[in-house]
C-alpha cells in the first residue's frame, strides 16, 4: 500500500479551496496546522495526547476534510484504516500504533488481544469492536475531490471490496433484532459513548472491578467531563465479555462466552444490543455512496440504492415515534424503545428519501425545547436540554460535538432548510476557532472541553469552509434522489 509523508501546505491549498471566503483564511490555516500536527505518516490521530492511535470514524471524517488540501493523503487515511480490516468484514474501532507505549491509552492492545483471534489482521493490533459506518460516504467524497488522481491510483477499485464486506458484516452479522437494522453491542461502537441512552441497557451489566482497568483518560481531562467510574466499569465488562467470546456475534460466540463465564450470557450478541438511529442512518447513507462507487467502476448500483431505501424504511418502522417527532434507540435485549432525546435521533436527516412528514417533524424537534437549535444554543447538544441527565460538560451527556453538528447541517441543507443550515455552519466555524478546535464544547457558551487540536474538528472546519464541502454534496445528493433509477443500472 502506498503511503505519503506529505505535509499539508496552508499557504497553497487546492484550487477549489482558494475560492473560500478571505475572512476565513486564518481559520483555514490553523485547521491545516492541526491536521499536520496529528499526522503520523500513514494516518491521523484524533489527539496527540488523549487519543494517540487511529480511530475508525474519526479517520472517515478526517479524510472528508483532508480531501480539500491533499486528496492523496485523504485516500491514504482510508487505505491505512482498511488495511486493518478483519476477515469477517468488520473495521475495528481502533488501529494501534506499535510505537505508542501500552500505558498511553486504555484499553490497550494487550486488553483486546486481537492477534490471538482467528480472522483478525496479522500485521497490526486492533480492538475487536466497531464504530459508525461513515467510510463509504467518505471514500466517495474523497474520490470526487480529485477523480483523475483517484482513477490513476485505482483508489475506488481497491477500497470498494473492503467497504462492501464491511456493510455485509453489519447487515448480516449484526441484525440482532431481526428487523433489518444493525445493532451495536457496546456503547463505544455507536460513538456517543456516554449517552444517557445507554443507562437502561447498561444497568443490566455488572461492572468490572476497578483493579481490572486504568482510567488513562483522566490524565488528560477533568473527571467531571468524563464518564463515571461506574459507567467505565460497565464498558470494560462488556468489552471483556465480547473479547472472551472471541468477538463472535452468533450463537457459537455466546456459547464460548458462557463457557468462559461459567454461566449466563447465553444470547448471541451478549446482554447489550441496541439499534441506534444515527448508526443505521450512516449505514444507509453509505449504501447510497457504495452504489455510486459501483457505478463509477462500471457496475450496477440499483441493488445498493434499494438496500439503502430498505434501511431507511426499517428506520422509520422500528425507531420512529411520530408523537415525539423523534427517532429513538431500541433496546433489543430489553423493553423496546429507549425514550431519550439524543442528537442521534435527529441524524436520519442525512437520508435523501426520508419521508417529508418525518423531515418536517425532525426539524420542529431540532428547533424545539429539547435541542434549541437557532435560538437557545450555539450548537446542537448531544442530549436533551430538558433531560434529567443533561450536563453541558460531561462526555456525550449534553456537550455539542462537531461531527454530529456537521451531519445535522448537511441534513438540513439536503432537505431545503437553507437558513437553518447557514446559521449552524456559521456557529460551527466561530466555535471551532474560538475553542482552538476542541473535541467538544458547552452547547450554550461554546467553551471548549476535552482535547484541543482535535482532528475531526479541524477537518470538518476545512470542509465547511470549502465550496466543495457539504453544501455542494447536499445539492448533488438531492439531485440523485430525484433522478435515481433513470440511468443504466440505477446510475
How far apart, in whole angstroms, are the C-alpha atoms of residue 361 and residue 322? 8
How far is the CA of 174 from the CAs of 177, 199, 203, in angstroms? 8, 21, 22
How many C-beta atoms lie closer than 10 Å to residue 110's C-beta? 11
CB contact at 8 A, 443 and 378: yes
Residue 5's Cβ-count burial label (10 Å; 0-12, 13-18, 19+) is exposed
* Residue 436 cell numbers, joined: 482552538
Catalytic residue among 193, 199, 436, 476: 193
CB contact at 8 A, 424 and 412: yes
CB contact at 8 A, 329 and 340: yes
How many C-beta atoms lie closer than 10 Å to residue 260's C-beta? 14
Catalytic residue among 175, 217, 439, 442: 439
Determine whether 193 is an active site residue: yes
CB contact at 8 A, 175 and 181: yes
CB contact at 8 A, 216 and 222: no
Determine whether 199 is an active site residue: no
Catalogue the active-site residues: 193, 439
Amino acid at each position: 500500500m502506498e503511503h505519503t509523508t506529505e505535509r499539508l501546505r496552508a499557504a497553497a491549498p487546492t484550487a477549489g479551496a482558494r475560492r473560500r471566503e478571505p475572512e476565513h483564511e486564518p481559520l483555514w490555516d490553523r485547521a491545516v496546522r492541526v491536521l499536520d500536527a496529528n499526522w503520523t505518516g500513514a494516518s491521523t490521530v484524533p489527539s496527540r495526547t488523549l487519543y494517540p492511535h487511529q480511530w475508525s470514524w474519526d479517520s472517515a471524517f478526517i479524510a472528508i476534510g483532508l480531501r480539500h488540501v491533499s486528496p492523496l493523503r485523504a485516500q491514504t487515511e482510508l487505505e491505512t484504516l482498511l488495511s486493518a480490516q478483519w476477515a469477517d468484514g468488520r473495521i475495528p474501532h481502533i488501529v494501534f500504533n506499535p510505537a505508542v507505549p501500552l500505558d498511553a491509552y486504555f484499553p490497550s492492545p494487550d486488553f483486546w488481544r486481537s492477534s490471538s483471534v482467528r480472522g483478525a489482521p496479522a500485521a497490526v493490533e486492533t480492538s475487536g469492536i466497531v464504530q459508525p459506518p461513515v467510510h463509504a460516504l467518505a471514500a466517495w467524497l474523497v474520490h470526487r475531490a480529485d477523480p483523475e488522481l483517484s482513477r490513476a491510483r485505482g483508489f475506488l477499485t481497491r477500497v470498494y471490496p473492503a467497504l462492501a464486506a464491511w456493510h455485509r458484516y453489519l447487515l448480516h452479522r449484526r441484525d440482532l433484532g431481526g428487523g433489518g437494522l444493525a445493532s451495536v453491542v457496546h456503547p463505544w461502537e455507536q460513538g456517543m459513548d456516554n449517552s444517557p441512552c445507554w443507562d437502561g441497557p447498561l444497568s443490566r451489566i455488572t461492572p468490572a472491578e476497578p483493579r481490572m482497568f486504568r482510567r488513562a483518560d483522566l490524565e488528560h481531562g477533568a473527571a467531571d467531563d468524563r464518564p463515571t467510574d461506574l459507567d467505565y466499569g460497565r464498558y470494560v465488562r462488556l468489552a471483556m465479555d465480547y473479547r472472551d467470546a472471541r468477538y463472535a456475534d452468533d450463537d457459537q460466540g455466546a456459547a464460548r462466552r458462557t463457557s468462559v463465564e461459567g454461566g449466563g450470557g447465553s444470547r448471541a450478541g451478549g446482554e447489550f444490543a441496541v439499534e441506534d438511529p444515527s448508526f443505521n442512518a450512516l449505514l444507509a447513507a453509505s449504501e447510497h455512496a457504495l452504489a455510486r462507487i459501483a457505478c463509477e467502476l462500471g457496475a450496477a448500483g440499483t441493488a445498493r440504492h434499494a438496500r439503502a431505501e430498505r434501511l431507511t424504511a426499517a428506520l422509520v418502522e422500528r425507531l420512529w415515534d411520530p408523537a415525539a417527532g423523534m427517532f429513538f434507540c431500541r433496546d433489543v435485549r430489553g423493553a423496546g424503545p429507549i425514550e431519550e432525546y439524543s442528537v442521534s435521533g435527529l441524524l436520519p436527516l442525512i437520508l435523501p428519501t426520508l419521508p417529508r412528514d418525518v423531515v418536517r417533524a425532525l426539524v420542529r424537534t431540532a428547533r424545539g425545547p429539547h435541542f434549541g437549535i437557532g435560538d437557545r444554543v450555539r450548537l446542537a447538544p448531544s442530549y436533551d436540554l430538558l433531560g434529567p441527565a443533561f450536563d453541558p460538560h460531561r462526555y456525550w451527556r449534553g456537550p455539542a460535538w462537531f461531527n454530529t453538528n456537521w451531519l445535522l447541517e448537511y441534513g438540513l441543507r439536503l432537505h431545503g432548510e437553507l437558513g437553518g443550515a447557514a446559521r449552524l455552519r456559521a456557529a460551527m466555524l466561530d466555535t471551532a476557532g474560538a475553542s482552538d478546535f476542541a473535541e467538544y464544547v458547552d452547547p450554550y457558551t461554546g467553551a471548549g472541553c476535552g482535547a484541543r487540536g482535535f482532528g475531526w474538528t479541524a477537518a470538518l472546519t476545512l470542509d465547511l469552509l470549502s465550496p466543495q464541502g457539504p453544501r455542494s454534496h447536499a445539492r448533488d445528493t438531492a439531485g440523485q434522489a430525484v433522478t435515481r433509477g433513470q440511468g443504466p443500472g440505477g446510475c
